[in-house]
Amino acid sequence: MKKGVMMIIVCLCFGIFAQTAPATEAKPAADGSGLDVAVAMKLLETKEQAFEKLASINPKKGTPKYAAKDKEIKDIVEEIIDYRFIAEYIIGKKWLETPDPKKEELYNKIKELFSDVYLDKLFYNKSYEKKYLEKGTEKKYLKGVPESIYITSEVQGIFKGKTVGYELVYHIRKVDGKYKVFDVELDTVSLARNYREQFEKNLKEKSVDELIANIDKKIKSSKSEKQDKKESKPAK
């Protein structure tokens, strides 16, 4: 049960950022890395304000206004999530062996898995509270990232009608001069590592085409399940 909650909430939490001001003043890294914790924190706060503004707009699903809001949400997330690194990391060695056309198709499916299946859900569920605990810089958190920033927060939200509390850690790196989230940990469980283990196991037995088909199946299944739940709700 906990694993199921983790997979849903962690993935979704990519699109949600702090509502509470940090308890202590964020300071720039002093190790010469060029990473500035204060700037990364400001990014999260700025994006949260943008999400809050969108949350006040409630167009009917299926209308042009709804589509415009959905696009704006995903555009904001696109600015802060390092999808390319996530895709390359979780596919591992197989990524280098994959032809460019298939690589792009696989990347787009992984991105769709994160955005359409997960990010959309939690954004529309605003029943959560968050506060920052600590932040700083770290070295070699994941392979391919020599230095990065971590921001730890404590979150309380509603999951299936029950209050759920957990520790959430954002891992942020600098990409072309911009700060982007490349992993999230929930109660010490890494999203990137978790998916890497699952994908590596599948790729030992299946081709890239089969993996793409499996991801697509997961996306369609999730959307179908969400639609069924919506249609099963009694009319008010």
Query: What CATH number is associated with residue 77?
Result: 3.10.450.710
Domain ranges, residue 57: 2-20+33-221
Question: Quick check: is 57 in a domain?
Answer: yes
pLDDT surpassing 50 at residue 204: yes
170 pairs with which residues across the strands? 151, 184
Total-model pTM: 0.73
Mean pLDDT score, 71-96: 85
Backbone phi and psi for residue 157, each to the nearest 5 degrees, phi listed first: -140, 180
Q: What percent of the chain has pLDDT over 90?
A: 17
pLDDT surpassing 90 at residue 96: no
Question: Quick check: is 202 in a domain?
Answer: yes
Helix ranges (DSSP H) in the chain: 2-12, 37-55, 64-80, 83-91, 93-97, 100-112, 120-124, 191-205, 208-232
Question: Quick check: is 227 in a domain?
Answer: no
Question: Quick check: is 181 in a domain?
Answer: yes
pLDDT at res. 10: 38
Question: Quick check: is 230 in a domain?
Answer: no
Question: Quick check: is 45 in a domain?
Answer: yes
Would you tell me the crossing angle of helices 100-112 and 83-91 to the nearest 10 degrees?
110
pLDDT surpassing 60 at residue 156: yes
Number of domains in the chain: 1
Distances (CA, A) of 207 to 86, 147, 212: 19, 33, 9
Mean pLDDT score, 29-37: 66
Question: Quick check: is 66 in a domain?
Answer: yes
pLDDT in tens, 99-138: 888 888 888 888 887 666 555 544 444 555 677 788 999 9
Write down the residue that tokens 């520790």 correspond to. 167
pLDDT confidence band for 36 (50 / 70 / 90): very high
Mean pLDDT score, 201-210: 79
The pLDDT mean for the chain works out to 75
pLDDT confidence band for 172 (50 / 70 / 90): very high
pLDDT in tens, 138-154: 999 998 999 999 999 88
Question: Quick check: is 233 in a domain?
Answer: no
pLDDT surpassing 80 at residue 81: yes
